[in-house]
Amino acid sequence: MTLTPPAEPDPELKMNWASFYAVISGVNRHSTGIGRIWISVLFIFRILVLVVAAESVWGDEKSGFTCNTQQPGCNSVCYDHFFPISHIRLWALQLILVSTPALLVAMHVAHRRHVDKRLYKLSGRTNPKDLEQIKTQKMKITGALWWTYVISLLFRIVLEVIFMYLFYMIYPGYKMIRLVKCDSYPCPNTVDCFVSRPTEKTVFTVFMLTASGVCILLNIGEVVFLVGKACSKHLHTAGDSTMGAWIQQKLCSF
Amino acid sequence: MDWKTFQALLSGVNKYSTAFGRVWLSVVFVFRVMVYVVAAERVWGDEQKDFDCNTKQPGCANVCYDHFFPISHIRLWALQLIFVTCPSFMVVMHVAYRDDRERKYKAKHGNNSKLYNNTGKKHGGLWWTYLISLFVKTGIEVAFLYILHHIYDSFYLPRLVKCGVKPCPNLVDCYIGHPTEKKVFSYFMVGASGLCIVLNICEIIYLVSKRIARIANKLNRQKRQIAVSHNDHNEEPFDNSIDTMPTLSKKEQPPSFRSAVKSSHRPPGLKLEEKIRASAPDLSFL
């Protein structure tokens, strides 16, 4: 049996993650400091590692999965039984879904800019320099944008946790086993099946899980920071207004 | 498949869409094209090679594969994505046609005369083009979902299929590669399709109701003006001003205080007093 070289990640795939990056990094400007760190961790330690390294490791997972039998179909069935959905696909889905809430924030910012542009135009200031200024102005995270931002953070945390749980349910334990025993039809008896590159896969699984955990912590930290900042602003500015009035103001302002 | 050029083409459509249209475009890009290229294409990568039949008869695997998979899921989805995004180009072409007419009109009648206030605004013919493109998109989505359901028996993908097509010597067992993963992605792509259909329907309802509201407003204002002109029919000084006041559509009406207050953060230098004065009639000629 010859050792097959790892499959090269095709350039088409890299280009698509690159265009995804272009979309998501637009949100970067309106994030807090912790949000920017989160985006960097996401792109460098998760997406880049996935595309450049992990894809090659899992590239030949099906062809490298060998069962100790000549029975046609036994290989396929045993592989499907032990790997219902590949790690790589789970991580790709996780990364796509976890980055989606950032688009909510981007849409809200675009909507606010649209409203500002209209107000400018209607007040007679159609100077192109003013309209350009709206585009480049950094949005303050106040009012309804604060709520959109916090909700998007909560969604991110929930999605990450859901995917970690799914991962745990399908593959309990982070270690990739070298040998699995399989007796699904049409395997004639309990056959030994060997997984390709188990140690390398274990290393990358641990890496990606750790990166997930770090991202969850960053998101929780950002929620705490935003809530804390809003509370302290309330205590400083509106001295005698009640909590109820503050919540009402936050809910009504758009 | 050069999805990058496709994405570049499609982002031009963004300018002429409504808010629903923009959400639809994001869903198509992120949940369908991205997932397709990054994950789904890999899963179906070499499906014919992975199709194993329990026989040494040459040609049996080929024939059985062709019998059970007349057209692969992946190819169907690629076609669906291409066809579903084409109607948006109708809108872009209509706007380009309007721009061209405007240019010819300006060349004929001088630079100051305008045929359209704003070629990108969805009024008149462009509104109909946009509505028709929405209906076509929804129809195509439903058609492709039906084809997928018809060929693959409600998206069911078993591990083992029994095949007795010639030249297979008898009823042989054939095994499909990655069936569970394929099932997961089928459901995901079908779900994303369904979401897009819902978004299209919402956009149709929004467009139609906005137009109805606009027409109702116009009729209301015309009725009111007729009533006012009958009542003030003896007061000369005001007669001219009311008759010559142009009928403004809802969009062109001077802004009310309420819409100005909507944003909690206001851009600097915006004076609110101008807003209130703008909604009162201009009696400076008296």
What pLDDT shows up at residue B272?
44
What is the tens place of the pLDDT at every residue in B17-40? 888 888 888 888 888 988 898 888
| Facing residue for A143 by CB, picked from B43, B260, B264 | B264
- Domain residues for the domain of A31 are 21-65+84-122+142-173+198-235
Query: CA B205, CA B211: separation in Å to the nearest integer?
Result: 10
Assess whether the previous peptide bond of B167 is cis (omega < 30° from 0): yes
**Residue of chain B with shortest Cα separation from A76:** B177
Min Cα distance B220 → chain A (Å) is 24
Q: What is the dihedral of CA A200, A201, A206, A207, to 10 degrees?
A: 70
* Angle (CA) B208 B209 B212, round 5°: 90
- Residues B105-112 have a mean pLDDT of 81
**Residue of chain A with shortest Cα separation from B253:** A122
Residue B137 has pLDDT above 80, yes or no: yes
Find, among B179, B210, B196, B220, the residue nearest to B68 by Cα: B179
Least confident among A69-78, A180-189, A203-212, B106-115? B106-115
**Residue of chain B with shortest Cα separation from A186:** B173
Residue B209 has pLDDT above 50, yes or no: yes
What pLDDT shows up at residue B232?
65
What is the tens place of the pLDDT at every residue in B69-93? 888 888 899 999 989 888 888 888 8
Is the separation of the CB atoms in A103 and A27 below 8 Å?
A: yes
What pLDDT shows up at residue B279?
43
Structure token digits, residue A13: 């795939």
Find, among B71, B14, B7, B5, the residue nearest to B34 by Cα: B7
Residues of B in contact with A140 (CB under 8 A): 265
| Residue bearing tokens 């350039």 | A11
Tell how strand A191-194 and strand A179-182 pair up: antiparallel
Residue A12 binned pLDDT confidence (cut-offs 50, 70, 90): low
Number of domains in chain A: 1
* Angle (CA) B270 B275 B281, round 5°: 155
- More confident call, A124 vs B130: B130
Q: Mean pLDDT across chain A, nearest whole number?
A: 83
* Angle (CA) A156 B38 B10, round 5°: 90
Strand runs (DSSP E) across B128-178, as ranges?
A: 160-163, 172-175
- DSSP reduced 3-state for A61: coil
- More confident call, B159 vs B140: B140
Residue A162 belongs to domain with CATH number: 1.20.1440.80
Q: Is residue A252 situated within a structural domain?
A: no
Is the separation of the CB atoms in B119 and B99 below 8 Å?
A: yes
What is the tens place of the pLDDT at every residue in A22-57? 777 777 778 888 888 898 888 888 988 888 888 888
Q: Is residue A218 situated within a structural domain?
A: yes
Q: Is residue A38 situated within a structural domain?
A: yes
Q: Is residue A133 situated within a structural domain?
A: no
Query: CA B24, CA B202: separation in Å to the nearest integer?
Result: 11
What pLDDT shows up at residue A251?
62
Q: What is the DSSP secondary-structure string of B4-49?
A: HHHHHHHHTGGGG--HHHHHHHHHIIIIIIIHIIIIIHHHTTTHHH
| Facing residue for B37 by CB, picked from A16, A73, A253 | A16
| Residue bearing tokens 């492709």 | B144
Q: Is residue A72 situated within a structural domain?
A: no
What pLDDT shows up at residue B40?
83
Q: Is residue A159 situated within a structural domain?
A: yes
Is the separation of the CB atoms in A166 and A93 below 8 Å?
A: no
Is the separation of the CB atoms in A134 and B267 below 8 Å?
A: yes
Query: CA B124, CA B3: separation in Å to the nearest integer?
Result: 33
* φ, ψ (nearest 5 deg) of residue A143: 65, -135
What is the tens place of the pLDDT at every residue in A181-229? 999 888 999 999 999 889 999 999 999 999 999 999 999 999 999 999 9
Task: Please identify among residues 183-242 of chain A the ones whose CB lies closer than 8 Å to any CB of chain B.
Answer: 185-186
Residue B67 has pLDDT above 80, yes or no: yes
Q: Is residue A151 situated within a structural domain?
A: yes
What pLDDT shows up at residue B271?
45
A112 touches chain B (CB under 8 A): yes
Q: Is residue A28 situated within a structural domain?
A: yes
Residues of B in contact with A4 (CB under 8 A): none
Most confidently predicted of A151-160, A194-203, B158-167? A151-160
Would you call B159 and A15 a contact, using CB atoms and an 8 Å cutoff? Answer: no
Residue B188 has pLDDT above 80, yes or no: yes
- Residues B96-111 have a mean pLDDT of 85
Least confident among B144-158, B180-194, B197-211, B220-234? B220-234
What pLDDT shows up at residue A191?
93
What is the tens place of the pLDDT at every residue in B223-240? 888 887 777 665 554 444
| Facing residue for B181 by CB, picked from A85, A100, A254 | A85
* φ, ψ (nearest 5 deg) of residue B281: -70, 150
Query: CA A131, CA B267: separation in Å to the nearest integer?
Result: 11
Query: CA B218, CA B224: separation in Å to the nearest integer?
Result: 10
Q: Work out the percent of chain B whose per-residue pLDDT is above 90.
A: 24
Q: How many residues are there in chain A?
A: 254
Would you call A89 and B39 a contact, using CB atoms and an 8 Å cutoff? Answer: yes
Min Cα distance A221 → chain B (Å) is 26
Residue B276 has pLDDT above 50, yes or no: no
**Residue of chain B with shortest Cα separation from A110:** B19
Structure token digits, residue B126: 């462009």
- Residues B201-208 have a mean pLDDT of 94
Would you call B264 and A254 a contact, using CB atoms and an 8 Å cutoff? Answer: yes
What pLDDT shows up at residue B146?
93
Min Cα distance A134 → chain B (Å) is 8
| Facing residue for A73 by CB, picked from B39, B52, B254 | B52
Residue A7 has pLDDT above 50, yes or no: no
Residue A176 has pLDDT above 90, yes or no: no
